[in-house]
Structure 1
Amino acid sequence: MLATVQASQGTKGQRSLIYIAGDRFAEPALVAIRTYLAERNKQYVEFGYLAGRNPGVSLQEFIPQVTEVVRKTDGDTGILVCGTGAGVEIGANRFPGIRASLCGSAKNAEWARVYDAANVLCIASWMLDDIDLSAILDAWYGSEYDGDINRRKMLHTFDEWAQSD
């Protein structure tokens, strides 16, 4: 389902999309994320539980949907949510070109973007009472990769590891 909100601008001026998905345990976080994005006129596409109200939707179904579109675009990002957040992070990082990071604080989110070029934010919905989701999203969307040469080499090495599977 494509949300009916304005497109946000990517880092290079292009229209960027945010792909969000989660399982049934993610509903409170997904509703908060949807509200956050709509209030900021960011365009998003939903997969997973909220897209079809299917309580049986599994991580194996929606992780590939999100990662497939994120890895084929420049500037688009994903947000994946499950109870622990670890399941979606582990699953997403199995796909080439995906750098998913489980972030429980604004500083985690900022550093994941700036230092590690993360393109998929993972959230633990069971931790919603203990985290400031809006601050995490502000930090994630307010930061971008700094392009440091040493970190580019590191990410290139990580990509080589993924290709050796």
Structure 2
Amino acid sequence: MIALASDHGGYELKQKVIGYLEANGYTCHDFGCYSLESCDYPEFGRAAAEAVAKGECEKGIVICTTGIGISIVANKVPGIRCGLCADTYSAKMTREHNDANMLAMGAGIVGPNLALSIVETFLNTPFSGDEKHVRRINKIEEEVK
């Protein structure tokens, strides 16, 4: 299951991502928001990140206008490694090197076609498992405690 969340600035792109995911056999849990009405991203981004951290969802995708604020919120949840990506190379690297379990995007930065390519890359790229990357991730996790 994929956790999704957005604010009003990311709502329309989130709907496109959900449609893409469902058409490709993924199950989605939408943590909000549910309209274009102005809202605050922290409550929605945090809810999605907590679901991923608890293991209720395998991965998460969060979207606001820039992706910055909602990625900050997600990364404050222990156990979350959320990569803000605006291209497919970053999406690939955040999975291969950082074993990111959440993806953040900015709806005002990437268009829908690029966003769907980023999502596809993020979800289909495995973690390399290289010792140096495992060591670095462990160091990241130690800093959170």
Normalising by structure 1, we get a TM-score of 0.82
Residue in structure 2 matched with residue 111 of structure 1 by the alignment: 93
Task: Please say if residues 20 and 45 of structure 1, whose CA atoms lie closer than 8 Å, have aligned partners that are also in contact.
Answer: yes
Give the C-alpha shift of residue 162 in structure 1: 0.8
Deviations, residues 55-109 of structure 1 (Å, cap 9, x unaligned)? 2431221122111110121870000000010101111111111000011111111
Q: Return the offset for 1:29.
A: 0.9
SS at match of 1:90: helix
Among candidates 128, 134, 138, match of residue 152 of structure 1 = 134
Q: Give the match for residue 13 of structure 1.
A: none
- Name the counterpart of 1:129: 111
Letter in 1 for 2:3: Y
Does 1:40 find its partner at 2:24? yes
Query: 1:74–1:23: structure 2 CA closer, same or farther, 3 Å change rule?
Result: closer
Q: Residue 95 of structure 1: which of 77, 89, 95 is its match? A: 77
- Structure 1 stretches lacking a partner, 5+ long: 1-16
Aligned residues with identical type, % of pairs: 25
**Matches of 1:76 and 1:67, distance apart in 2:** 11
Structure 1 runs (4+) deviating above 4 angstroms are none
- 1:130 Cα deviation (Å)? 8.6
d(CA) in 2 for partners of 1:56 and 1:74? 28
1:150 deviation in Å? 1.1
Aligned to 1:72: 54
Amino acid at match of 1:72: K
The number of residues matched between the two structures is 145
Q: 2:11 aligns with which of 27, 41, 60?
A: 27
Aligned positions of 1:9-28 closer than 5 A: 17-28=1-12
